[in-house]
């Protein structure tokens, strides 16, 4: 038996030991032959290593007598026959999808982004502390400059791919705040805001959760569901955030974002239950970035959702809860960002997004690795959805 990492598996290998997910679900039993689909499924369930049966040695050709060596031309033909066959295109695609995240994390541009991202996190934490200790808006110039440089370093697709792999940090307030700042800036760019407004919006995203620094850590970091009392405490952070920022020279829209980023257009939000026309525009944009980042992050009760699942959630109830113009702009651009991306469906089949349905952004047209084309917007595919972006 041989133990191999998932990216070193190839179709045709025989499973030697049961393959079980972290939650106890059996994916494959001993004796089962690995297929491209099964290998993709292992990657999807984050299986690190697999034990397979040892590969058999190459068969001996008994048609040639040992005492009579074959002519030179025949030897050449035999040598060519024993060369490993080229990997089929489908297998190559599966290999690509399995190793994408690993290759991304090993790339020099990811490592540079990760280093710059860590510097931004440390800088953001220092600025939070400085503001809490009495510092004013003037101290944030370099914070904004660093965030702007981080944003400029990537295309939209690269930026969102990078952020999706920045989830293992110990300071969730600061990593989330940096992500919301970057996502808010992306929305502002899509809305074609002038440079000065773009900078103000970015800073609003960076500082929107500063009030959480005043929430007790045992509540803030609680892995399970909040009690009613704990949730009531948690809901005070917008008021605390505005209080911290008030009177320190910040643009009024930044204070509004801190106070109103949990307000919803239908009046269901907090702390004041405002309606759409009562919510500041920048607060409405930051609210969308805030929810998107939260939903694409892992939680104690669920795995992170992929972008198309988040788009689906917004399409179901978000159009009533968020500013119509801003949420539609955001959803259309996010969906188009992932056009032509490799995906895995909830039935473990893999393929590529080939067309975005404008009237149903979360359910695009997919070309499967088999070559079959399916339109997820068709009623016959209601039970199929995009589970992950590969």
CATH number at residue 116: 1.10.3210.10
DSSP lists the bridge partners of residue 20 as: 26
Q: How far apart are CA 164 and CA 304, in angstroms?
A: 9
Whole-number percent of the chain with pLDDT over 90: 47
Domain that holds residue 234: 106-304
Alpha helices by DSSP H, listed for the chain, are 36-44, 72-82, 89-106, 108-132, 141-152, 156-164, 172-190, 195-207, 217-220, 228-234, 237-245, 252-260, 281-295, 307-313, 319-321, 324-337
Q: Are residues 162 and 231 in the same domain?
A: yes
What's the chain's average pLDDT? 83
What pLDDT shows up at residue 78? 44
Are 245 and 260 spatial neighbours (Cβ–Cβ below 8 Å)? no
Q: Are residues 162 and 290 in the same domain?
A: yes
Concatenate the DSSP letters of all residues of 55-114 into one string. PPPPPP-TTS-TTSPPPHHHHHHHHHHHSPPPPPHHHHHHHHHHHHHHHHHHSHHHHHHH
Q: Are residues 135 and 264 in the same domain?
A: yes
| Mean pLDDT, residues 185-212 taken together | 96
Q: Are residues 125 and 258 in the same domain?
A: yes
In a domain, 77, yes or no: no
What pLDDT shows up at residue 183? 96
The model's confidence at residue 24, banded by pLDDT at 50, 70 and 90, is: low
Q: How far apart are CA 144 and CA 188, in angstroms?
A: 15
pLDDT reading at 313 higher than 70: yes
Tokens of 300: 């104690």
Side-by-side strand order, sheet with 386-389: 373-375, 365-368, 350-355, 342-345, 386-389
The model's confidence at residue 40, banded by pLDDT at 50, 70 and 90, is: low
CATH of the domain at 18: 3.90.105.10
166 or 271, which is more confident: 271
The domain tally of the chain equals 2
Q: Are residues 222 and 119 in the same domain?
A: yes
Are 291 and 311 spatial neighbours (Cβ–Cβ below 8 Å)? no
What pLDDT shows up at residue 63? 37
pLDDT digits (tens, 9 = 90+) for 53-89: 875 433 333 333 444 444 444 444 444 444 444 444 4
Q: Are residues 167 and 21 in the same domain?
A: no
Q: Are residues 174 and 295 in the same domain?
A: yes
């Amino acid at each position: 038996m041989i133990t191999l990492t998932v990216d070193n598996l190839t179709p045709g290998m025989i499973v030697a030991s049961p393959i079980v997910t972290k939650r106890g679900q059996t994916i494959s039993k001993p004796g089962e032959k690995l297929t491209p689909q099964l290998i993709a499924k292992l990657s999807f369930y984050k299986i690190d290593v697999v034990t397979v049966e040892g590969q058999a040695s190459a068969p001996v050709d008994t048609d040639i007598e040992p005492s009579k060596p074959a002519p030179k031309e025949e030897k050449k033909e035999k040598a060519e026959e024993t060369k490993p066959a080229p990997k089929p295109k489908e297998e190559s695609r599966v290999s690509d999808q399995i190793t994408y995240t690993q290759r991304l994390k090993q790339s020099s541009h990811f490592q540079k982004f990760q280093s710059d991202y860590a510097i931004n996190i440390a800088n953001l934490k220092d600025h939070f502390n400085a503001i809490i200790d009495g510092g004013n808006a003037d101290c944030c110039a370099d914070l904004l400059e660093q965030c702007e440089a981080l944003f400029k370093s990537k295309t939209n697709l690269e930026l969102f791919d990078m952020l999706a792999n920045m989830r293992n940090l110990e300071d969730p307030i600061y990593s989330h705040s940096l992500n919301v700042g970057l996502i808010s800036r992306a929305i502002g760019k899509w809305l074609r805001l002038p440079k000065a407004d773009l900078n103000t919006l970015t800073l609003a995203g960076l500082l929107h959760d500063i009030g959480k620094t005043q929430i007790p850590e045992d509540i803030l970091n609680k892995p399970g569901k909040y009690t009613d009392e704990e949730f009531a405490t948690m809901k005070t952070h917008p008021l605390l955030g505005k209080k911290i920022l008030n009177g320190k020279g910040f643009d009024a829209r930044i204070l509004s974002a801190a106070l109103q980023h949990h307000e919803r257009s239908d009046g269901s939000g907090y702390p004041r239950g405002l309606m759409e026309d009562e919510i500041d525009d920048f607060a409405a944009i930051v609210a969308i970035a805030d929810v998107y980042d939260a939903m694409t992050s892992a939680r104690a009760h669920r795995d992170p959702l992929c972008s198309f699942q988040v788009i689906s959630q917004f399409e179901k109830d978000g159009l009533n809860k968020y500013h119509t113009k801003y949420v539609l702009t955001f959803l259309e651009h996010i969906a188009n960002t992932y056009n032509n991306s490799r995906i895995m469906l909830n039935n473990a089949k893999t393929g590529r997004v080939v067309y975005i349905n404008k009237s149903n952004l979360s359910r695009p047209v997919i070309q499967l690795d088999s070559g079959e084309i399916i339109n997820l917007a068709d009623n016959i595919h209601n039970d199929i959805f995009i589970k992950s972006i590969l």
